[in-house]
Structure 1
Amino acid sequence: MKKPPVLIIAAVQLLLVSLVGAVMHLSGKPVTALSVLIGGALNALPSAYFGRRAFRDSGARAAHRVVGNFYRAETGKFILTIAGFAGVFASVKPLNAAALFISYGLCVIVQWILVARMVR
């Protein structure tokens, strides 16, 4: 069974937020640009961790390990996301919270779309 292209999806997400961040920075909004980049990274990096961790094993003989990997991967993704948001809000000043959350949410949507296209 072919492993899912989780790192490709994360790379596409990071590329998109980098492009949007560059446009925002060049239009004179550096705080918004940084917030967009951080929001995208807060989605892409934990998702990449999840994909690498969850899909390490495959096959019928590894079924028990696969299930365990999924639980550990989802827990790790959740912890990384929460710690990432906490760290950003504690240390990044100034920050455009709206741009951060919008970027995060749009990256979630991009992830869903890319996964749906690749599954077909």
Structure 2
Amino acid sequence: MTKPPVLRIAAVQLLLVSVAGAILHLNSKPVTALSVLIGGALCALPGAYFGWRAFRDSGARAAQRVVGNFYRAETGKFILTLAGFATVFATVKPLNAAALFISYGLCVIVQWVLVARMVR
């Protein structure tokens, strides 16, 4: 059984926010560009952690470990996301909060779409 391509999903997300950030930066919006990059990273990096942690084991004999891995991976992803947002809001000044949240939300949607396409 092949492992899910979670790192490819994170790479696509980071590529998309990098392109958006570069375009914004070239249009003289450096604060918005940085906020978009950070918002995408706050989605992609915890998502990559989840995938790495959740899919370490596979197979029927490892069913208990797989379930445990999913719970630990989701908890870790949640903590990383919360800590990431807290750190960003405490340290990054100036910040465009709207761009940060929009970028984060769009990355979540990209993740859902890519996962749905890969499941088919």
TM-score of the superposed pair, with normalisation by structure 2: 0.99
Residue 100 of structure 1: aligned partner: 100
1:67-106 CA-to-partner distances (Å, cap 9, x unmatched) read 0000000000000000000000000000000000000000
Q: Residue type of the partner of 2:6? A: V
Structure 2 distance, partners of 1:100, 1:80, is 16
Structure 2 distance, partners of 1:65, 1:72, is 10
What is the percentage of aligned positions where both structures have the same residue? 87
Alignment of 1:1-120 (within 5 A): 1-120=1-120
Q: Residue type of the partner of 1:71? A: Y
**Gapped runs of 5+ residues in structure 2?**
none
Aligned-residue RMSD, C-alpha: 0.4
Structure 1 distance, partners of 2:106, 2:117, is 17
Residue 17 of structure 2 aligns to a residue whose secondary structure is helix
Shift of 1:17: 0.1
Q: Residue type of the partner of 1:57? A: D
Structure 2 distance, partners of 1:70, 1:111, is 17
Structure 2 distance, partners of 1:44, 1:26, is 23
Aligned residues: 120
Structure 1 distance, partners of 2:70, 2:115, is 17
**Gapped runs of 5+ residues in structure 1?**
none
Which of structure 1's runs of 4+ aligned residues deviate more than 2 A?
none
